[in-house]
Amino acid sequence: MEKSYSSNFEPNNMASDIIVGLDIGTTKVATIIGYLNNRGKIEILGHGKSVSKGVEFGLIQNLLKAQESIKTSLQVASSHAHLDSIQSVYAGIAARHIRTLNCKHYILRSDHNSLICQEELDEMRQDVNNIALPPDQEIITIIPQKYVIEDSADGTCHESQDPVGELGSKITGYYQVITGNYQEIKKIHTCISNVNISAEELILEPIASGLSCLTEDEKQRGVALIDIGGGTTDMVIFQNGHPKFCKVIPFAGSVITKDIANVCNIPEDTAEELKINHGSCIPSKSNPNRVSTILRPHQQTPLKITDEQLAKIIYSRVHNDILGYVKKELENSGCMKMLQNGAGLVLTGGGAKLRHLVELCQYDLGLNARVGLPGIGFSDSLSNELKQPQFSTALGLLKYGIEEETKNLTLNEEHVQERSMTENENSRRNNNNQTSEEKEPRGKILDNFKNTIIKLFEQIS
């Protein structure tokens, strides 16, 4: 790929080139381009945003319109970054078709005295990747929940989140498998390939969002990330530093906007502006005396609505559907007590900017809550424009891609070092063998000479 980097680009041996994150949302398509600098922080080279068309509730309905939105976002970002072209992206996925299932898998270890290694856990995960699924489903990601290690010597078992380095005769892994509809996944790949780029990987969006706006301490203690987008509300629970539970809820910001439009008989774009500028999700905290006057198409009388009346419309949808579903899934996860003792909730996505949402979450769910702003792992130069909840997913996708590229580069370097050490060891052995072979003929010559002299003396005597 031909490139023309901006002046602040710093090549880094630890990262393989620049990385692109692509968030195909219901209301917007966001592209973020960046790289890992020499200080281990992510620098942004450019970003682009376009109005999302052809996408409803996270599902691509019109491929031509969707790929045009993707193309526009990519062009804006590449122009901003002074790049001639983009070859590949790390793209997000989250929509109503996402499903979750739990499964377990075990292996019996032949060498009980050897330490459990990462390769064994990777092989177990690969086995889970081959489980039978309905014909319309495809695995998106596999999340290890825990491992149970059994010792054949005394028959005892114990749980472990990271059993590498432990001893045991049997490892049982418990996993949450995230799947999606095959045709919906194919639509994303088709739209991306039709604008002449490829998708390196599709990443579940709430996991990506967690990378950009959750601290390591929160993920260790236990935290639920609630990403309220335009089409879906995505949830992921972290514990001990890893994702533990994921769910996609089919209600989000766009249904609130539609409710306002329907009740007030106004266009959706007008309803969106009304929600952003005057909306709240707690009527009692809204001003009953402040009135918004809105002209309505084909209506002689304008709409007059107080902030309190608007808040009642918003509250009904947020309380009954969005937070109602969140509470149900949190209870189903079995993690409520852990979250109460841990870091609680972090709200992100464009819907997180709704006024008084944090207070309503704390009241409805009984958990501490805060708004999550992306920026963890990024340099101080990250602009205020991007340091907003609506860009958590796009920035998280970029961070995910950089971590994957760095991990692969590190593994390749380790492989090269191992191969070099093996070659050096083989070379040393060959040299030793060669030296032995060289010594052997000299020994035979001396022996032959000695025997010849002995025979000669025998003949003289």
DSSP string, 263-307: HHT--HHHHHHHHHHH-BS-GGGS-SS-EEEE--TT-SSPEEEEH
**CATH number, domain containing residue 227:** 3.30.420.40
Dump pLDDT digits (tens) for 198-208. Answer: 999 999 999 99
Same domain, 252 and 105: no
Please give the residue range of the domain that contains residue 152. 99-179
Q: Most distant CA pair in the chain: distance in Å?
A: 143
pTM of the model: 0.83
Instruction: Please report the pLDDT score of residue 95 as a whole number.
Output: 84
Number of domains making up the chain: 2
Dump pLDDT digits (tens) for 241-266. Answer: 889 899 999 899 999 999 999 999 99
Residue 130 located in a structural domain? yes
Q: 334-337: long-range contacts at Cβ-Cβ below 8 A with a sequence spacing of 24 or more?
A: 335/222, 335/224, 335/237, 335/239, 335/244, 335/245, 336/367
**Domain boundary, last residue among 339, 371, 403:** 371
pLDDT bin (cut points 50, 70, 90) of residue 5 is very low
Average pLDDT over residues 374-391: 96
Closest C-alpha to 150, from 168, 133, 131: 168
* Rounded CA separation 421/417 (Å): 6
Six-digit token string for 135: 């014909």
Give the residue ranges of DSSP H helices in 57-168: 63-80, 118-128
* Rounded CA separation 367/377 (Å): 26
Same domain, 281 and 334: yes
Query: How distant, in Å, are the alpha carbons of 185, 226, 290, 316 from that of 309?
Result: 41, 26, 10, 11
Average pLDDT over residues 386-412: 89
Same domain, 167 and 261: no
Dump pLDDT digits (tens) for 295-315. Answer: 887 777 888 999 999 999 999
Same domain, 163 and 280: no
Residue 6 located in a structural domain? no
pLDDT bin (cut points 50, 70, 90) of residue 448 is low
Q: Tell me if 358 sits within 8 A of 369, measured CB to CB.
A: yes
Same domain, 230 and 297: yes
Residue 322 located in a structural domain? yes
* Rounded CA separation 91/199 (Å): 6
Per residue, the 3-state secondary structure of 350-367, as one string, reads HHHHCECHHHHHHHHHCC
Within a 13 Å sphere around the CA of 339, how many CA atoms are in the beta-carbon half? 26
Same domain, 159 and 220: no
> Is residue 443 over pLDDT 90?
no
